[in-house]
Structure 1
Amino acid sequence: MKRRSILASIGTGAVGLAGCLGVLDGSTDCEPTEDETTFEDAMTLVDEPGMTAPRISVRGTIVAFPARGLLLEDPTGVARITTGLQYEFDTDRLDPGDCVSADVTLDKRSTWDNQLPILSVRRDHFEREGTTENADVDRFTGVSPPDASFEVDFDSEIGSSTTTVTLTHDGGEAVESSALFVCHGPERAEVRRPTLEETTIDSWEDLAGSTGDVTSGDSVTVELTDGTNGSLLWQSEIGWNRQLRGFAV
């Protein structure tokens, strides 16, 4: 099934885009308003009990176009905004530096997995506000998650409550060891994911005891208590995170 555009041609209103697109030549500071949630505050919602996908409003600058979404930046951090399976962003009508506002849902599970707000927008709750003043999007040029795969192996002894988890680069691009981290939390109880406050983050460099590129066959191990969730995370210097592999012990 063909995916419909979440941003129609200007003036057609084919997908019921909220507000008036028009041609926006004016600039804006793209600061979140009092009624909008910053990306930093969105992260704190992961630790709050209740809804797994709370609704919030956000405002940010488009800084990159990862697959199946947009990367937005506000004064407090970076977030990834995605659409449903039936829709996609019309990138012909959007450019890096554009300021957009949106009503979204926060996916708590994916946010923990990526240590980055993962937001889902409905097609009629997305609006281009103008061009962000002094938008510094050049630093995102050429930066993207590595195309690399990782294998996970588990080893435990009978009667033991801990498991040795081995993560191995299984093919694809080399990855800087300084950009890889293993996130894990305490044993699961009533919740499916540990809170961010409970999360332990170990760098690949510390686990491996070496620096440099991680290439096919390189591995690290970590001892985890049974019933623990984990995530192998790629993190760029500009705060763009992406889960490369998830696992559960």
Structure 2
Amino acid sequence: MMQAVSTRASGRYLLLASMLYIWSLPAQAEQDLLIGGSQYSRTSSYSYLGIIKPVADGQLGQGWFVSAIGSWLTYEYDINFNNQADRLKAKAPGIDFGLGYGWQGDQYYLQLSTAAGYRDYRLSPEVPGEEPEGSTLSLMPQLQAGYQFTPKFDVGLISNWSIGPQSQFNRLRLGYRPTGMWHVGLEGMYQEGKSYRIKQYGLFVTRYLADGLSLEIHGGTLESQDISSAAYVGAAFSKSF
């Protein structure tokens, strides 16, 4: 069961990381941000598509904003049911609605937000006692912050607590900008819940293109509480308009 929780928790990373794109852009009035991406590992996948919209005279990167993001999560793991080995597979569509406020200066950004989420877990085969199953709700307060030490070196932090699942997620990124169009670096993540702990290490590469478009690839390894490890790879994009 612990492996199943691990795959569900690690799926949150890609969505949270994509939200950070908004802070890598200069403040832009009256523009929305479209985000999307996918992440895959041997036993799970996670894909999403959504929009972040400034409100109340806010701008991308500064002021009030709302978000709406749909996602699709899958995972699988071995079980023993009725004294027989089997493979449980899950599909879990979901949607999140968020509200937040951001501050941005010449060398820093700071954002506080909260999101309410709904996800429908569909298990095959249906096994009594396996959780979650069916409809679930969550509330996720979140902090994002970053600081640019020099024009080339920066650091970024995401930290949140998910009320309902009773889990936390923390990610630290150390980035380097060889040019204004590229952003590369190291990332480390720590996730914890009622029955799991996950450490994740990886690399990311982001390319900024014309007309507010950015593309990212990332990958690495994750280690769970039972010392098992797996590789992951993902890609994401953002587009302001």
TM-score, L = length of structure 2: 0.25
Structure scoring higher RCO (CA < 8 A, sep ≥ 6) equals: 1
